[in-house]
């Protein structure tokens, strides 16, 4: 019932917050849209690394994330949701979306964060 739902939301929120904390001193920018944010979604803008490049890197480590925003997942267009969110078009092109669920663990979040940091340190940056 409702108490199980609240526990799930609390768990997903704490996993999301852990992710934000781990990435806080990196070049990545975690996008959190005020109080309306979903407890299970983390949007991360990478420092001049194309989202597709990072997706491939993470996929090689068995980690599945998405590019852009959910609103643009079926189109090759730059996400209007992300641009509306204050991101420039080129930032939207370097943004990934991470979903956490009630079955995810802190260990998995840390594995993701470490892989993301490794990717940021090794992948080629886009020349702007």
Q: Tell me: the pLDDT tens digits for 55-86?
A: 999 999 999 998 876 554 444 555 666 666 67
Distance of CA 114 to the CA centre of its chain: 13
Higher-confidence position of 108 and 76: 108
How confident is the model at residue 126, as a pLDDT? Answer: 85
Average pLDDT of the chain, as a whole number: 84
How confident is the model at residue 83, as a pLDDT? Answer: 62
How confident is the model at residue 120, as a pLDDT? Answer: 96
pTM to 2 decimal places = 0.82
Higher-confidence position of 52 and 89: 52
How confident is the model at residue 32, as a pLDDT? Answer: 75
Q: Give the residue numbers annotated as catalytic, written as ranges.
A: 71
Higher-confidence position of 60 and 87: 60
Q: Is the pLDDT of residue 114 over 90?
A: yes
Higher-confidence position of 87 and 101: 101
């Amino acid at each position: 019932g409702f108490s199980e739902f609240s526990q799930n939301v609390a768990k997903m929120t704490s996993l999301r917050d852990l992710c934000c904390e781990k990435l806080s001193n990196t070049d990545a920018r975690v996008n959190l849209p005020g109080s309306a944010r979903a407890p299970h979604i983390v949007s991360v803008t990478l420092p001049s690394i194309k989202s597709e490049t990072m997706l491939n890197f993470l996929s090689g480590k068995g980690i599945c994330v998405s590019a852009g925003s959910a609103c643009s997942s079926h189109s090759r267009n730059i996400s209007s949701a992300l641009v509306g969110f204050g991101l420039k078009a080129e930032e939207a092109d370097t943004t990934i979306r991470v979903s956490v669920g009630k079955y995810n663990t802190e260990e998995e979040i840390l594995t993701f964060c470490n892989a993301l940091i490794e990717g940021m340190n090794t992948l080629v940056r886009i020349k702007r």
